[in-house]
A and B are shown apart, each in its own frame.
Chain A
Amino acid sequence: MCAAKVETRESLFVSGHRACHGCGLALAVRHILEATGPNVIVVSPTGCLETFTSPYGYSPWRVPWIHHVFENAPAVASGVVAALKAQGRPVTRVVAIGGDGATFDIGFGALSGMLERGDDVLYICTDNGAYMNTGGQRSGATPSWASTTTHPAGKQSVGKTERKKDLPEIVAAHGIPYVATASVAYLRDLKKKVKKAMTFHGPRYIQIDTPCPSGWNFPSHLTLEVGRQAVKCGLVPLFEMENGKIIGVRKLKKKLPVTEYLQGQKRYRHLFESDGGQSELQKLQAEADKNIEKYGLMESG
């Protein structure tokens, strides 16, 4: 036998899906399902994930999966939970996986309703910060100063002027047992959080940063690299909350300047092209610094 250990395993999210080259979201989903195991029913709203996994006749899902419409995944999930309860199928759990448009914007009311009802659903938001399925339009999850197709940078525009909605905090305010942020760049951490979430009952929420080579416009081999930079600069803090309290954060050894993260992405290019972007870059650095302070991200601090 070969000295090196080579592990084989069956994927619950198989090849042949039609995600773009280097899709962070597709990668995240495979690992989510590795963490949940096969005894789950997955609900997805309309969006990238739905589009690249649903062409009729070709499903990569090896767990039961349902997509209904755009804004109702949390309610569909509640319906599945209710049916499982009524049928006495307590072992099967329900996981919803939806993008930021569905979660932050159009399905927000349904999400809040599901959280408030206390339904046993793990809701995972795969966040790529815009409506990538329809060409990269602005969402409530788009970070400040990013250029999107509906809020583009231009002669009189520096991109999105509003803040990214702080959804983990809003979700946590519903008093649910588990909230976490994760990144597809840290797969072991991501899986650990999904596994942990599955130990709780009631509504749980994980928001995963899933860099998008097509939408953010960086080379497809850099998906994880960009994801790591986002975490290391403090713009994407990774934390876990149990019952409303932060119980852990991913510490940073060294703070990466936000410009290192931003400069490789076309959605921020306008900030580097003229002096005009300086103040926005400073604001983004200030935002990262605020996160670092708020969540105590520095290892030394």
Chain B
Amino acid sequence: MKITPGAVVKGGTSLHYKTGDWRDQRPVIDQEACQKCGICRDVCPDDSIKVKDEQYEIDTDFCKGCGICAHECPAQAIKMVPEEK
């Protein structure tokens, strides 16, 4: 790929850089217990909680496994489980 003058790049291109493999634990959402408050998504530093079929889901392409979502979930519906390598 040719370099761009002045190293100017298109916005939003970091979506091509997957940070999911930084993870050593993964959040698992108990959809039964989930109250759909959206706090997990709000508190994710990596914007890796997405809405799919009216449910919150972890985007494992990007989730780094920091565990903030699990800690902040008021319904305690998110558990961190060790990532299988």
- Set B9, B36, B46, B65: member contacting A6, Cβ < 8 A: B36
A4-B36, A7-B51, A224-B68 known; A16-B45 Cβ under 8 A: no
In angstroms, Cα B7 to Cα A5, docked, is: 42
Question: Closest approach, in angstroms, between the C-beta of A25 and any C-beta of chain B?
Answer: 8
Size category of the A interface is 35 or more
Size category of the B interface is 35 or more
Scan B35-52; emit 1 where CB is below 8 A from any A CB, else 0: 110100011111110010
Q: Tell me if A30 is interfacial: C-beta within 8 Å of chain B.
A: yes
Q: Which residues of chain B are within 8 angstroms of A31 by Cβ–Cβ distance? A: 42
- Set A1, A4, A15, A53: member contacting B19, Cβ < 8 A: A15
B54/A224 in contact, CB under 8 A: no
Task: List B51-85 residues whose CB lies under 8 Å from chain A.
Answer: 51, 54-56, 59, 61-62, 64-68, 70-72, 80
In angstroms, Cα B80 to Cα A231, docked, is: 27
For B10, the closest partner residue in chain A by CB is A59
B13/A21 in contact, CB under 8 A: no
Q: Which residues of chain A are within 8 angstroms of B9 by Cβ–Cβ distance? A: 56-59
B19/A6 in contact, CB under 8 A: no
B35/A59 in contact, CB under 8 A: no
- Set A1, A27, A64, A213: member contacting B11, Cβ < 8 A: A64
Q: Tell me if A13 is interfacial: C-beta within 8 Å of chain B.
A: yes
- Of A13, A15, A58, the most chain B CB neighbours within 10 A belong to A15
Total number of residue pairs linking A and B with CB closer than 8 Å: 118
Q: Which residues of chain A are within 8 angstroms of B7 by Cβ–Cβ distance? A: 56
- Set A11, A53, A65, A213: member contacting B47, Cβ < 8 A: A11
A6-B54, A26-B46 known; A221-B70 Cβ under 8 A: yes
B14/A15 in contact, CB under 8 A: yes
Scan A84-104; emit 1 where CB is below 8 A from any B CB, else 0: 000000000000000000000
For B61, the closest partner residue in chain A by CB is A15
Classify the secondary structure of B's interface with A. Answer: loop
Q: Which residues of chain B are within 8 angstroms of A11 by Cβ–Cβ distance? A: 47
A4-B54, A16-B15, A58-B9 known; A221-B61 Cβ under 8 A: no
Q: Tell me if A223 is interfacial: C-beta within 8 Å of chain B.
A: yes
A6-B56, A14-B47, A27-B43 known; A61-B61 Cβ under 8 A: no
In angstroms, Cα B15 to Cα A59, docked, is: 8
Question: Closest approach, in angstroms, between the C-beta of B59 and any C-beta of chain A?
Answer: 7
B65/A21 in contact, CB under 8 A: yes
29 of the cross-chain contacts (CB-CB < 8 Å) are: A6-B36, A6-B56, A14-B14, A14-B15, A15-B59, A16-B16, A16-B17, A17-B14, A17-B19, A19-B45, A22-B68, A23-B45, A27-B68, A57-B13, A59-B12, A59-B14, A60-B12, A60-B15, A62-B11, A62-B12, A63-B11, A213-B66, A220-B66, A221-B68, A222-B71, A223-B45, A224-B43, A224-B71, A225-B71
Residues of chain A at the chain B interface (Cβ within 8 Å)? 1-2, 4-8, 11, 13-19, 21-24, 26-27, 30-31, 53, 55-65, 187, 213, 219-225
Known: A60-B12, A60-B15, A224-B71. 5 other contacts (CB 8 A): A8-B51, A16-B14, A16-B15, A17-B19, A63-B11
